[in-house]
């Protein structure tokens, strides 16, 4: 006679594991429900709240996202996701002025050629424009425009080229001691947009300035990378100005090329509605702090130090407002 086998009793260990798994699922579901309710309540509060309340909520959201995305160790993927959320918050735009008809041509200059208190020579290249001070043997401003289109690849030159328009300038003329000839606009930045032409033009000696190696490979490269890669991807066309600001009392190099005391960067964006906004950075040549938001400044201050006047073709009131305003955070 066959004997029926009794089912084995589930061990206490397996029962505990099953119970813990069930409790974990319940907890996850509860957390998701609570988060959904909180998001829904915040959305309703924002939608039906007063204008002042919405502004406060936007300010809190902007501050929180800036705090989270600022650390250097934060993975780029997470930063990109935070940027997507950040860009849909109205308060994140900063000051936007009426731009009129600017930005509709292919020029890397926005609202005209910057004016200068000293004579400058405009060196036209296919990938950028160089406002060159022949008396000092150094650029005062390099302007280029990035579109955020498909990235191109090109072989980067291993040496720098003489510029036939400024024949007397040599690589050996730039730098002294710890200051070495470094490209103001990294060749990779222009190569990504303009291919081999951009890489070669960025390797012209007229794009070189005295920089400490640690500064160039560290803070400066990080700033240029953030602006040249992140901004065009998020906002499409972006106009970028870069330049050195010499020290009035500092000793020049042996050839007379002045050693910079500051480096500046200005990024301009024309919004879909035709508005113009800008963010400006002013970085001491000896800076070691790598937090980019600590170097945000006004265009007005850069003008005072450099002797340049930007946006000469912009309507006066809009220009004055844009220049004097300090963007409170990175876009």
User: Which structural domain, as residue segments, surrounds residue 246?
Assistant: 99-324
Share of the chain above pLDDT 90, in %: 32
Mark which of 37, 63, 93 sits at the end of a domain. Answer: 93
pTM value is 0.79
CA pseudo-torsion sign 145, 148, 154, 159: positive
pLDDT tens for each residue of 220-272: 988 998 888 888 888 888 999 999 998 765 455 556 788 899 999 999 988 87
Do 187 and 314 sit in the same domain of this protein? Answer: yes
State whether residue 280 is helix, strand or coil.
strand
Q: Tell me how many domains the chain contains.
A: 2
Give yes or no: residues 57 and 132 share one domain.
Answer: no
Cα distance between residue 237 and residue 54, in whole Å: 30
- What is the C-alpha to C-alpha distance for residues 221 and 185, in angstroms, rounded to an integer? 9
Question: Two tokens at 300?
Answer: 């007005």
pLDDT tens digits, residue range 268-295? 988 878 888 899 999 999 988 878 888 9
Residue 6 lies in a domain: no
61 and 178 in one domain? no
pLDDT for the residue 170: 87
Q: Of 131, 124, 122, 128, whose CA–CA distance to 144 is shortest?
A: 128
| Same domain as 301, residue 176 | yes
Query: Which of 93, 128, 143 is the C-terminal boundary of a domain?
Result: 93
Contact between 326 and 294 under an 8 Å Cβ cutoff? The reply is no
75-127 pLDDT, tens digit each: 777 777 776 677 667 666 677 888 777 767 778 999 899 999 889 999 999 99
């Amino acid at each position: 006679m066959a004997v029926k086998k009794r089912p084995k009793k589930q061990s206490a260990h397996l029962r505990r594991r099953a119970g813990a798994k069930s409790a974990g699922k319940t907890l996850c579901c509860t957390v998701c429900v609570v988060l959904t309710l909180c998001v829904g309540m915040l959305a309703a509060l924002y939608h039906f709240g007063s204008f002042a309340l919405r502004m406060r909520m936007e300010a809190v959201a902007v501050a929180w996202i800036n705090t989270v995305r600022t650390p250097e160790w934060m993975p780029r993927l997470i930063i990109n996701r935070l940027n997507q959320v950040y860009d849909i918050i109205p308060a994140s735009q900063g000051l936007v002025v009426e731009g009129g008809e600017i930005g509709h041509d292919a020029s890397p200059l926005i609202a005209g050629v910057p004016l200068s208190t000293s004579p400058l020579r405009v060196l036209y290249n296919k990938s950028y424009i160089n406002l060159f001070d022949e008396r000092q043997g150094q650029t005062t401003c390099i302007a280029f425009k990035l579109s955020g289109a498909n990235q191109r690849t090109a072989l980067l030159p291993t040496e720098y080229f003489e510029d036939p328009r400024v024949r007397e300038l040599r690589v050996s003329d730039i730098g002294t001691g710890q200051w070495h000839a470094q490209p103001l606009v990294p060749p990779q930045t222009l190569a990504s947009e303009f291919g081999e032409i951009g890489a070669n033009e960025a390797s012209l000696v007229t794009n070189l300035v005295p920089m400490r190696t640690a500064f160039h490979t560290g803070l400066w490269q990080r700033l240029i990378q953030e602006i040249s890669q992140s901004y065009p991807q998020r906002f499409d066309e972006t106009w970028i100005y870069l330049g050195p600001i010499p020290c009035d009392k500092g000793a020049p190099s042996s050839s007379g090329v002045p050693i910079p005391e500051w480096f500046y960067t200005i990024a301009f964006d024309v919004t879909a509605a035709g508005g113009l906004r800008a963010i400006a950075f002013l970085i001491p040549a000896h800076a070691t702090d790598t937090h980019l938001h600590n170097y945000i400044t006004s265009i007005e201050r850069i003008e005072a130090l450099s002797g340049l006047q930007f946006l000469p073709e912009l309507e006066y009131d809009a220009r004055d407002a844009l220049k004097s305003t300090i963007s409170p955070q990175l876009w």
